[in-house]
Structure 1
């Protein structure tokens, strides 16, 4: 069944008004009993008819899409889940054997923990399981470090190592001041981190599916001759609610669809100035036609052939309100935002494809709803 097209009155209700100094009509009114003679109670059938998903951009690391016809609480739930509740792999434990660089051990460990990694999807999402964490009762840890080491297996632990030393380049020209030419390994990059598979990991993490940094050019440290770094790392599965390094997204955000309504004609030089008030591509120009120029009360009388301002793509607008600061546009334009049209922007760090992150957030929210439903049934008993 095709989506039901809302009336103009319903569209106006869905818009928040953007004024020069204030924002009005921000509260939703589509609930039962507010409008006389209208039944705005939620139903699954009406939701199916009105809800819509539009894909604007879909690339492995970045995607943009619109969710139309949902409440802000649901849209925000998807955003929060993508940030904090979808698991990914990151370095959790760093064992420093030798570090003679100028970076302190704890700072180096933190930098290594924030390096994002990628690998085979089946291995990361299906083969790798959760690693049991130490539980702190306030004074003493329940699981000692020795016992924790016995819980690390090929299905829950990724082993990485970084062993590198800086030496002088004997072939460099005399007096060379560029450290990248004068020394070997003057800069330590994420690509210098080596993956050490063990057990069944070679079946899932080999070739193009091997564990490796998402961006090999991330700068980890700078060394000079005689300095070295020798560390081993253990990477585990975690979620962003435990630590930001486990978040599978660089950013996951949404904004409301902007609306631009031209109430009165904007012509000639005013149209050009009006277009400059918005980002490029939002406002375009059209020639005033003969019929428009002859129609009384249209505002185009005597302006045949002149350029008039028209809205081309309001989605590109950033709602800067610049047009509301000029007297010549007063009463000629109305700005707003559609309260139930959410434009999402998702940037993945590499372990998940950007579109798969949203689908996974839907799965997580569904599991939460099922758990809540079971708890409610238990309470009734």
Structure 2
């Protein structure tokens, strides 16, 4: 008997991870050679191109959300790990403390300074600045110099009854904006004016001082990657989740529809009135319910898959929950040095470079 090729509906069903009241089913991918007799599931680049898609949901400088559709979890996770650990940024690496009379210990102060995200001209950060050798002398093309020199003093203009330290004293609070950038050599060409090296957020609090206390430090910034230290990571968060799937298999009407909507985060389930045509359609389940509210799925991507609806008897056999195995919703939050969209694009270049390097190693191994 000849094998019948699977329908598109069957192929889509195989991609859904079943979310039940107490179990999760169909968690293992099945689209590989030999799993289904008579079906060819060998990987093909043209087939992958046809099924792969990228959808942009949000594209702000500090936050981006997008979907990768039609790829394996290993690929999605590779992008996530590269964005966190392999995309290079600039951060304070060496702190030379000449005077620190604050209550913060030297090593803690150095750590706080290292975690402050900085930004600057994109061309200079990406193209001009190079990797600094471990034991090499600082050069203008691999090291950026910064200085923090702040001394707390009494404010002679403060009122006699003033109790606010920020008004009683000058420089009672030391902020990231107090860090001064000193360009060296050709750095002036790339980091001047709007492109100058500066903190992403100038109001990051570094320390609190009182009269007689001061901080005098010099700092060197270099290029690094998150796999060496978290301060070099370009993202605050880079995560993904699998697209939730909500299927209403039987009509949910009236008060049940309102209760059903409350089982999900706001905006996931909407309420629509049963139309006259639906009420007349035999076997639809809407007969005689014209004008009543019915539950409809509006935005399944907002769902957190809490399974709350499965805990109520009135919804039994009326809804199926799942997750689409090949649809990944990414959220990328940039620390500010590199725009969130550019972080993902750079991760693509890094993955391509890694693949080419692996190809060379395999060729050499065969030889």
Shift of 1:325: 1.5
Mapped to 2, the partners of 1:325 and 1:32 lie a distance apart of 39
**Structure 1 residues 148-297: aligned runs within 5 Å:** 148=136, 151-297=137-283
Cross-structure match for 1:115: 116
* Structure 1 residue 297 displacement after superposition: 2.4
Deviation at 1:303, TM superposition (A): 0.9
Correspondence for 2:3: none
**Does residue 103 of structure 1 match 2:114?**
no
Deviations 1:97-119 (A, max 9, x none): 00000000000000000000000
For 2:86 and 2:301, the matched residues in 1 are separated by 29
Q: Partners of 1:216 and 1:23 in 2: how far apart?
A: 47
Deviation at 1:291, TM superposition (A): 2.4
| Structure 1 runs of 4+ with >2 Å offset | 294-297
Alpha-carbon distance in structure 2 between the residues aligned to 1:321 and 1:224: 54
Unaligned runs of 5+ in 1: 1-5, 135-147
Shift of 1:157: 0.3
Between the two proteins, the alignment pairs up a number of residues equal to 361
Match of 1:140 in 2: none
Q: Which of 291, 294, 311 lines up with 2:297 in the alignment?
A: 311
> The residue matched to 2:104 in structure 1 has which SS?
coil
Question: If the length of structure 2 is used for normalisation, what is the TM-score?
Answer: 0.96
In the alignment, what sits opposite 1:124? Answer: 125
How large is the RMSD of aligned CA atoms in angstroms? 1.1
Distance across 1 between alignment mates of 2:69 and 2:286: 35
Alpha-carbon deviation of 1:295?
A: 2.5
CA distance in 2, matches of 1:57, 1:37: 42
C-alpha distance in 1, partners of 2:110/2:357?
37
Cα distance between partner residues in 1 of 2:92 and 2:48 = 43
For 1:85-104, list aligned pairs within 5 A: 85-104=86-105
2:360 is equivalent to residue 374 of structure 1 = yes
Residue 71 of structure 1 pairs with residue 57 of structure 2: no
Give the structure 2 partner of residue 23 of structure 1.
24
Measured in 1, the distance between the counterparts of 2:206 and 2:295 equals 51
**Alignment deviations for residues 155-207 of structure 1 (CA, whole Å, 9 cap, x no partner):** 00000000001111121111321111111111111111000001000000000
SS in 2 for 1:318: coil
Give how far 1:351 is off: 1.6
Q: 1:64-117 CA deviation, whole Å, 9 max, x = no partner?
A: 111101010011001000000011000000000000000000000000000000
What displacement does 1:361 show? Answer: 0.6
TM-score normalized with structure 1 length: 0.93
Find the residue that maps to 1:279 and give its secondary structure: coil
C-alpha distance in structure 2 between counterparts of 1:380 and 1:10, whole Å: 37
- CA distance, structure 2, for counterparts of residue 175 and residue 327 of structure 1: 66
Equivalence for 1:143 = none
| Residue 284 (structure 2) aligned to one of 295, 298, 305 | 298
Other structure's SS at 1:38 match: coil
Q: Give the 3-state SS of the residue equivalent to 1:89 in structure 2.
A: strand
Mapped to 2, the partners of 1:330 and 1:188 lie a distance apart of: 60
Structure 2 distance, partners of 1:9, 1:287, is: 31
Deviation at 1:369, TM superposition (A): 0.9
The structural deviation recorded for 1:349 is 1.1
Among 351, 356, 363, the alignment partner of 2:337 is: 351
Query: In the TM superposition, what is the alpha-carbon distance from 1:330 to its structure 2 partner?
Result: 1.4
In the alignment, the residues of structure 2 paired with residue 111 and residue 76 of structure 1 have an alpha-carbon distance, to the nearest angstrom, of 30
